[in-house]
Amino acid sequence: MIAILFCACVLLILQVLTPFWWWIAVVPFLFGLLFAKKSGKAFGGGLLIGAVVWGGAGLYFFLTSGRLIAGRIAAMFSLGSGWLMVLLTGALGALVAALAAFSGYLVRGQTYTSDKT
Amino acid sequence: MRWVKAAVSFVLLAALVWALQTPHGAVPPLGKLANPFAGFWRNNASTDRVPERLDLAGLQENVRVVWDDLRIPHIFARNDHDLFLAQGYLMARDRLWQMEFIARFAGGRLSEIVGPRALDQDRFQRRIGMTYAAENFLKGIEGDDESRSILQAYADGVNAYRQSLKPSHFPVEFKILDYAPEPWTMMNTALLLKYMAWDLTGGNQDFALTRFQEALGEAVADELFPYVAPFQDPVIPPGTKWDFGRAVDERKGGPPTASGSSDTPRSRPPADPFDDVIGSNNWALAGTKTKSGFPLLCNDPHLALNLPSIWYAVQLSAPGLNAYGVALPGAPGIITGFNEHVAWGTTNAGADVLDWSKIRFRDASLGEYAYDGGWRKTTIRKEEIKIRGRAPVVEDVIYTHHGPVPFPEGGTAINPDVPPGCALRWAAHDPSGVLNTFFSLDRAASYKDFREAIRTFDCPGQNFVYADGRGGIAIWHNGKYPLRNKGQGRTILDGSLPADDWTAWVPMDEVPHVENPPRGFVSSANQSPVDATYPYYLGWDFGSFERGARINEILEATSNAAPEDMVKMQTDALSPRARMALPKLLGMVPRDRLGATAAQVRDRLAGWDFVFHADGLEPTVFDRFWREFYAAVWNDDFRSGGSSLPTPRSDVTLDLLLNKPGSLYFDDKTTPAVETAAEIAARAFSAAVAGLEKELGPIGEKWAWGKARGTEVRHLARIPGFGTPLLAVTGGGGTINNTSRTSGPSWRMVVSLGPEVEAWGVFPGGESGNPGSRYYDNMVPAWAAGTSYKIVFLRTPDEANPRLIGKTEMGGGR
């Protein structure tokens, strides 16, 4: 849990300081590579990191000043409500982060195997 | 097998990241866009906050900006340089994407950002010489230090803002279309001016009329596309004396010069005869007709409506200058507005400043063309169009001394108005002083200043209405117009004849104008500028009589007018066409032969007040009835059997109905019988009702004009969800509140002059270009309802006003 929290914080800092969206793949990948002990935990941890950081930020903006732009973007995708954009932002972040963490975990497994042989 | 799993998973991840990083056709790069730290979430309403301080490098002294409750900036600078630097900065702050996009569109550079789907549009812009025109504009002001320094200061302001922007704060359209703003240049402003010039003078019927004349002869062409359209009430009151104090150098040298031949009649759909709904109004009342005893001036320019809004409202103040009005995003100064002394407004003049000349090339190399009995060399201008994701395309555009030949023989012209194999002579290709006009108008204090200011306004020709605080009013049908024989340039010319070259111009002092006419008002609505006594030929394809006649009818009857009356008048929705045509048409539709629904509809029309109310069904029915009638009259004559000739205008059709009901044009040539106008009208009525019933169901709310037609303000790049919903507005084509589905009044202004100038205004949008801002579309409801805001006009930055929401100190920074 501490590793998840740590990675979420690192992700948050990188996302705030730089304009690159793909930290949402890189940081969870490192989480899976360095910290996750089981494949399920890697996937779930990545999911949580992505959902909390992206979904949380989306929710923050929605509740403060982002209601109008969320509504516009929702309409652009022919979706009814700006709330859906919070869900979708969280879901997209969670999906990418989960896949990244899972990949990281599998790559580490591969490295261990190589070490043993 | 673990490595296989790991590899598959990694490849899957990489593919997902790539897919979310890249735009796919019209689908934006979703990962970038959804990233809450740098994507669309950052384009939120926090931009609405008024900053206490802004650093703007390059300011010579501090600038104070006061904001009113519509978030309109009132800029107070201590010198001109700082004023335009700050204007550029603040307009970029609200409209950076819009101004950049329009400059790209104008200069044929959209493919750079959206890929090959914009290639045809880009080729068209390049081939009609938009970049050539913009370059000529810049060359023309090379020695004009004032213009250059203003343009440069404005560009510096835009760039200062652009450079201060982190990618996370790029306007959201940059993120959706996935590109970054580039440096703003004077060239961009020049392109923007040429974009407006094409919008206002580019449309022409030369090619269509040539084909018509070739098919049916000059007499029929002159009858159905008359030199003077029916029912005209011209801009300059009939009977006005033209006293130029000298003999006029008119070119009435015999008949119109021999026209060339289009040679390549093509079957393209002619322009929609109903597209004449875009048009503008302006008028000024003398003090004798107003409550205050001082003039009132009104202007509502009509354009295809867009969000971000076409206009940017702003107050500009510096020593010797204190003006308020609307500016064009991407250009410094104020276009229509007022200051403490005078007010001005514009409508499009519509004079003919664009000719097509058939070019006879010596051989297939297109290196020489026939001229004046010999051969002249062409030049080639290379236009490189960069395309996102592809190799660039280079277009070789051939230039003659007339101008470019946009499309060679056999080429595809993209635009049906462009005849292949012809050279384009267009006044907007020449150097221009249009910006000087606005810089001077902004600080004009008298009629003399106004007069001097518009003297440099060459193209696009405009009807400039004027009023001042001392009681004077005037209107000038102002522009640089080639001196022509009657009809010269109405059809395609022979490019080898020097006689048709533009060699002289109607002197700027002799363009149609009138100052303080006895009737106590001046007005224009794109109609013919003059009656038959005016000595020069300016063109024939002016707007129809309807709005002008209605405006003049109301103003004739007006006395003791208050500003509120003018605000109301700007949304007048009475249709002169309906008032003239409907009694006659209904007389041709016997009630006893109609079914129940049609009879009910007929009764409603018979009791109609001819006003295009948003909630009435009558406008819906009349509009459809007229369209069906129009199509039934003309389609069999000019659009059947594979021919596709232009059809006459609605005003000509109305003239035929009222004054020549026995005309053979009413006969439906596709039947053996000879139909009368009455039979055609009865058929059209039945077809209209049946068509509406089929589309809208039984008579009910859906038949209301505001729902059946309505008006929407679309996003400039047509991004879905970024425009307004369909707005139930009054008015239609030919009413003062001249609306269509996608066009209408882009700005409504009423100015009450006098010792204390007061004004009202509204436009269908808001100051901000950010779709996530409260000020993106906050004025739309007022606009749709036909109300205007009282304009906040300040004499000093410290003036108290309850509608101010904040102040910003702009300093030199860094």
Distance CA B135, CA B123 (A): 17
pLDDT of A116 higher than 70: no
Average pLDDT over residues B400-413: 86
Distance CA A22, CA A19 (A): 9
Other Cβ atoms within 10 Å of A107 Cβ, number:
20
- pLDDT at B458 (0 to 100): 94
Decide if A103 and B41 are in contact by the 8 Å CB cutoff: no
Decide if B46 and A65 are in contact by the 8 Å CB cutoff: yes
DSSP string for residues in B321-362: EEEEEEE-TTS-S-SEEEESSEEEEEEE-----EEEEE--BS
Choose the weakest-confidence range: A66-80, B151-165, B636-650. B636-650
3-state secondary structure of B581: helix
Answer whether B41's CB lies under 8 Å from A57's CB: yes
Give ∠ CA B502-B438-B94 in degrees, rounded to 5: 120
Choose the weakest-confidence range: B69-83, B405-419, B494-508. B405-419
Choose the weakest-confidence range: B249-258, B714-723, B799-808. B249-258
Residue B404 lies in a domain: no
Distance CA A110, CA A103 (A): 10
How many independent structural domains does chain B possess? 1
Indicate the residue type of B155: A
Answer whether B735's CB lies under 8 Å from B706's CB: no
Answer whether B328's CB lies under 8 Å from B745's CB: no
- pLDDT at B814 (0 to 100): 53
Q: What does each C-alpha distance from B585 to B180, B257, B682, B786 come to in angstroms?
A: 57, 41, 8, 31
Share of chain A above pLDDT 70, in %: 93
Return residues 41-60 of B near A (CB < 8 Å). Answer: 41-46, 48
Distance CA B55, CA B89 (A): 10
pLDDT of A51 higher than 60: yes
Domain span at residue B696 reads 577-700
Bridge partners of residue B376, in order along the sequence = B369
- pLDDT at A38 (0 to 100): 86
Per residue in B510-550, pLDDT (tens digit) is 999 999 999 999 999 999 999 999 999 999 999 999 999 99
- How high is the mean pLDDT of chain B? 92
Indicate the residue type of A114: S
Choose the weakest-confidence range: B360-369, B505-514, B643-652, B746-755. B643-652
Indicate the residue type of B35: N
Share of chain B above pLDDT 90, in %: 85
- Decide which of B152 and B26 is more confident: B152
Residue B585 lies in a domain: yes
Q: Which of A73, A81, A99 to mutate to test the interface with B (most CBs of B within 10 A)?
A: A73
- Which chain B residues are Cβ-neighbours of A31 within 8 angstroms? none
Distance CA B19, CA A96 (A): 11
Closest CA to B444 of B344, B318, B523: B344
Answer whether B255's CB lies under 8 Å from B717's CB: no
Give the strand pairing for B354-358 and B493-494: parallel
Q: State the pTM of this model.
A: 0.94
- pLDDT at B616 (0 to 100): 94
- pLDDT at B252 (0 to 100): 56
Decide if B45 and A66 are in contact by the 8 Å CB cutoff: yes
pLDDT of B270 higher than 60: no
Per residue in B2-61, pLDDT (tens digit) is 788 888 888 999 999 998 998 888 889 999 999 999 999 999 999 899 999 999 999 999
- pLDDT at B641 (0 to 100): 72
Decide if B32 and A21 are in contact by the 8 Å CB cutoff: yes
pLDDT of B268 higher than 50: no
Average pLDDT over residues B292-321: 96
- pLDDT at A115 (0 to 100): 41
Q: For residue A84, give how far its alpha carbon lies from the nearest alpha carbon of chain B (Å).
A: 12
CB contact, 8 Å: B20 with chain A?
yes
- pLDDT at A12 (0 to 100): 93
CB contact, 8 Å: A89 with chain B?
yes
- pLDDT at A1 (0 to 100): 79
Average pLDDT over residues B183-199: 95
Assign B255 a pLDDT band (cuts: 50, 70, 90). Answer: very low
pLDDT of B260 higher than 60: no
- pLDDT at B6 (0 to 100): 84
Q: For residue B1, give how far its alpha carbon lies from the nearest alpha carbon of chain A (Å).
A: 9
Answer whether B297's CB lies under 8 Å from B325's CB: no
Q: For residue B33, give how far its alpha carbon lies from the nearest alpha carbon of chain A (Å).
A: 9
Residue B630 lies in a domain: yes
- Decide which of B276 and A53 is more confident: A53
Distance CA B193, CA B300 (A): 19
Closest CA to B243 of B47, B560, B514: B514
Q: Which residues contact A42 (CB under 8 A, 6 or more apart)?
A: A31, A32, A36, A101, A102, A104, A105
Alpha helix locations (H) across B413-499?
A: 434-442, 447-454
- pLDDT at B813 (0 to 100): 61
Q: For residue B776, give how far its alpha carbon lies from the nearest alpha carbon of chain A (Å).
A: 10
Q: What does each C-alpha distance from B734 to A54, B155, B585, B614, B647 come to in angstroms?
A: 53, 39, 18, 15, 18
DSSP string for residues in B151-175: HHHHHHHHHHHHHH--GGGS-HHHH
- Decide which of A110 and B443 is more confident: B443
- Decide which of B270 and B252 is more confident: B252
ipTM: 0.94
Assign A59 a pLDDT band (cuts: 50, 70, 90). Answer: very high
Q: Which residues contact B675 (CB under 8 A, 6 or more apart)?
A: B666, B667, B668
- pLDDT at A112 (0 to 100): 54
Share of chain B above pLDDT 70, in %: 96
Per residue in B573-598, pLDDT (tens digit) is 999 999 999 999 999 999 988 889 99
pLDDT of A114 higher than 60: no
- pLDDT at B67 (0 to 100): 97
- pLDDT at B267 (0 to 100): 38
Decide if A99 and B37 are in contact by the 8 Å CB cutoff: no
Answer whether B59's CB lies under 8 Å from B85's CB: yes
Residue B612 lies in a domain: yes
Decide if B720 and A78 are in contact by the 8 Å CB cutoff: yes
pLDDT of B335 higher than 50: yes
- Which chain B residues are Cβ-neighbours of A106 within 8 angstroms? 2, 5-6, 9-10
